Amino acid sequence: MMVHPYPLALTAIALVALAVAPHAQDMPSAAPSAKEASERPAWQAHGLKPQSPDSPFEEVVSGLYFRSKETQDMQADDFNNPGFLAVEQGEELWSKVDGAAGKSCASCHDAASTSMKGVAAAYPKWNGKLAKPVNLEQRIDICRTGALKAEPWAFGSPELTAMTAYIRNQSRGMPVAVKVDGPMTPWFERGKALYYQRNGQLDLACASCHEKNHGKYLRADFLSQGQSNGFPVYRLRDQRLVPLHERMEGCMQDVRATPFKPLSDEFLALETYVAWRGLGLPVETPAVRN
């Protein structure tokens, strides 16, 4: 008996991927039944007009409205939103003295509710000393190794993710306002190229799902525009808060590609471009997603 050279699971995924393969967006799809249509999230009524004429979208929509009503309600209720456990941890860390300098974040920045209001909405941001942009996680560790003279927190650690969520939460409701001009332009262009670059055995790009096929089902998942305004997000599937670069890493693994490393220049450029695609969307951290 001949043994198929690929695992059955991979074969199934490859077949499903045909739904978002090249030119799939031009293929007619069967009209949903009344029951299916009633179960689909009503995302069309929640968009914003793009702030840039170069936006690929007619309307910019948060991933929140591609999720079920139950998930939306969970995010809206601060008591039931499980991401707030990390926000509370970040609040404790904000005032905790750490490092040889004998300082805490509050020593320099006082109350985060005032000093951090609107700050996270502008990241990634150009850092003149490093001559490159940094994202919020990197900015936190720059403060730790500099002002606090403390050890940096590792990417994905509970501490760094909690502090990132806490600082971003201070900008909740404020519009994403990342700058992509001046020295940021080459990074923006690099991120754009990466967004449209096909990767992996499934030969898919970010745009294959989140631009050409958002609002459609891929297996049991209802595809969103892939906006980043809610990160770090509490993923119900993982039962924890997930930072943006980890989610990007997971997407690349899903298409059977070798992912870039978190906080790499590649993911930093991609984060910059994705943030630009969501200009004007309100910061939702901590968002709740599938």
Tell me which residues are annotated as active site: 251
Q: How far is CA 147 from CA 54, 75, 118, 168, 182, in A?
A: 40, 34, 22, 20, 28
Closest to 226 (Cα-Cα) out of 64, 99, 116: 64
